[in-house]
Amino acid sequence: MSRAKSLDKGNKAVRLLKKSFIVIILTVTAILTVAAPGWAHFSSAGYSDIQVGSDTISYHLSLLEQDLVHIFPDKPDGGDKISDKQLAASLGTLSRLVDDGIIVTGDGKVGNGTITAAKHEKRASMEMIGIDIQYRFAGPVKRYLMQYNFFWYNGVDVNHSNYATIHVGGQTIEQVLGSQNYIVQVQGPGASAAGSPSGGAAATTTKTITASASSKQPTVLTAETSGWSTLRTYVVMGMEHIWSGLDHMLFLFGLLLAAEQKVWKIVRLITAFTIGHCVTLVLSSLEVAYLSPRIVEPLIALSIVYIAIENIWKKKENVRVVVTMLFGLVHGFGFAEVLRGTLSGHMALPLFSFNLGVEIGQLVVVAIVIPLLIAVRRLPIRFNWNVYASGIVGIFGLYWLLERVLA
């Protein structure tokens, strides 16, 4: 009898090993197919600080040095760096680059930009090149249109975003420009209300600017609706950020597995994670605190490995809540990489909106995943699927951890 039991245990062990091997193979295949690259939360970014006058526009453009190197017509004399000396000697080259990258019209007439300065600068702890451009028109302008074209250059990230802060007529307008949303329309501060319906506000569109008047003018937001535009833009950005971050999603999935579909556990863990990432999101976005992506990204991967291991070898509930909050602090730095350097002193609405978007995105994930987990739990499955699911999450996390440490 003892021998029969021993054989039965041996057979079970073999079957378990086979299942585990299949799960590992499938997981590795999924990782190689869909896993995000090592620096999951860093993307190409530019910044535009624009002062609109009655017949002038002062445009300060900040581009990542690594982006400018790719599109700079002359070979950088510092390898992957453009020296201050080369910048000072290349204003003509930069002018041609800027003429293609930014098109400004005043009442349908294309303005010629003059570069007055170009220098290295740091923004949000990133090495950037700051370029000052001056546009001047023959007389007062009723309507300006500014088109940002740096998305189309070879070597620049297709997901490149530009965060524009526009000062006009005592107002400050925030716009996020993307490859599908790259034109800004602004009423000149000297224009009368009858001259334009915009009331000094900005709008974005995908219509290409030409020297002649386009047949279809962009929709113009009023001053009263520009706040709603900012709210909507940053809420959507926050939702997209958490949905596109597979590592954030897997950590959240790991938390839901840890909660075992028990409401009070879900509330405690999600609340702890939310408090953690909200704190560092605010501090990092306001540039009060900063942690390099080279540290944050491996720590985010480590948090996924940890929650997976903890789900398999369960620990005390209070310890899990505290650790979840600590890892929430780390994830907050990852969320903040999108916002660092973009707020230009007018941070309340964009910061609130982005954080709201992150929370909405998180709640949507919870609302979808919990019913699925409950449904799986009711299936007549003969093995501990919670352990296997946690193992899959852990393998993803370990892959990212190794990748990000070695990158």
Q: Model confidence over 161-191: pLDDT tens digits?
A: 788 888 888 777 777 777 767 788 888 886 6
Question: Is 30 a domain residue?
Answer: no
Average pLDDT along the chain: 75
Q: Are residues 347 and 276 part of one domain?
A: yes
More confident residue, 312 or 348: 312
* DSSP structural state of residue 169: T
> What does each C-alpha distance from 205 to 142, 178, 179 come to in angstroms?
19, 10, 10
Three-state SS sequence of 147-168 = EECHHHCCCCCCCCEEEEEEEE
- Distance CA(399)–CA(392), nearest Å, equals 11
Question: Is 264 a domain residue?
Answer: yes
Q: pLDDT class for 265, splitting at 50, 70, 90?
A: confident
* Residue that the structure tokens 């190409």 belong to: 44
Q: Model confidence over 36-61: pLDDT tens digits?
A: 444 455 567 788 899 999 999 999 99
pLDDT of residue 389: 85
Q: Are residues 217 and 93 part of one domain?
A: yes
Q: Are residues 329 and 190 part of one domain?
A: no
Q: Are residues 244 and 167 part of one domain?
A: no
- Distance CA(369)–CA(269), nearest Å, equals 15
Q: pLDDT class for 65, splitting at 50, 70, 90?
A: confident
Residue 321 has a CB neighbour count (10 Å cut-off) of: 16
Strand duo 45-52 + 161-168: pairing: parallel
Using alpha carbons only, give the angle 296, 297, 299 rounded to the nearest 5 degrees: 65
- Positions of E strands within 219-265: none
Q: Are residues 98 and 195 part of one domain?
A: yes
What mean pLDDT is predicted for residues 191-196? Answer: 46
Question: Is 149 a domain residue?
Answer: yes
Q: Are residues 133 and 261 part of one domain?
A: no
Say if CB 142 and CB 199 are below 8 A apart. no
- Distance CA(357)–CA(345), nearest Å, equals 21
What mean pLDDT is predicted for residues 332-351? Answer: 69
- Distance CA(253)–CA(250), nearest Å, equals 5
Q: Are residues 291 and 199 part of one domain?
A: no
Give the bridge partners for 122, in sequence order: 127
Number of domains in the chain: 2
Question: Is 36 a domain residue?
Answer: no
Question: Is 227 a domain residue?
Answer: no
Q: Is 70 exceeded by the pLDDT of residue 281?
A: yes
Question: Is 260 a domain residue?
Answer: yes
What mean pLDDT is predicted for residues 331-343? Answer: 72
Residue 173 has a CB neighbour count (10 Å cut-off) of: 25
Integer Rg of the chain from CA: 26
Q: Which of 221, 247, 278 is the last residue of a domain?
A: 221
Domain that holds residue 347: 235-406
Q: What is the model's pTM? A: 0.66
Q: Which of 163, 197, 221 is the last residue of a domain?
A: 221
Of 90-104, 204-218, 283-297, 346-360, give the lowest mean pLDDT range.
Answer: 204-218
Q: Are residues 156 and 263 part of one domain?
A: no
Q: How far is CA 246 from the centre of its chain?
A: 13
Of 11-20, 117-126, 331-340, 341-350, give the lowest mean pLDDT range.
Answer: 11-20
What mean pLDDT is predicted for residues 62-70? Answer: 81
Q: Model confidence over 133-169: pLDDT tens digits?
A: 999 998 899 989 888 887 666 556 666 778 888 888 8
3-state secondary structure of 381: coil
- Distance CA(278)–CA(335), nearest Å, equals 9
Q: Are residues 397 and 252 part of one domain?
A: yes
Q: Is 60 exceeded by the pLDDT of residue 198?
A: no
pLDDT of residue 231: 78
Q: pLDDT class for 227, splitting at 50, 70, 90?
A: low
pLDDT of residue 58: 94
DSSP for 303-370? HHHHHHHHHHS---HHHHHHHHHHHHHHHHHHHHTTTTT--TT--HHHHHHHHHHHHHHHHHHHHHHH
Q: Are residues 195 and 100 part of one domain?
A: yes
Q: Are residues 179 and 261 part of one domain?
A: no
Q: Model confidence over 353-376: pLDDT tens digits?
A: 888 888 899 999 988 988 888 887
> What does each C-alpha distance from 175 to 29, 46, 166, 233 come to in angstroms?
40, 12, 8, 8
- Distance CA(118)–CA(125), nearest Å, equals 18
Q: Which of 189, 221, 253 is the last residue of a domain?
A: 221
Question: Is 136 a domain residue?
Answer: yes
Q: Are residues 150 and 56 part of one domain?
A: yes
Q: Is 60 exceeded by the pLDDT of residue 15?
A: no
Q: pLDDT class for 233, splitting at 50, 70, 90?
A: confident
pLDDT of residue 360: 92
pLDDT of residue 225: 43
Question: Is 331 a domain residue?
Answer: yes
Residues of the chain above pLDDT 70, percent: 70
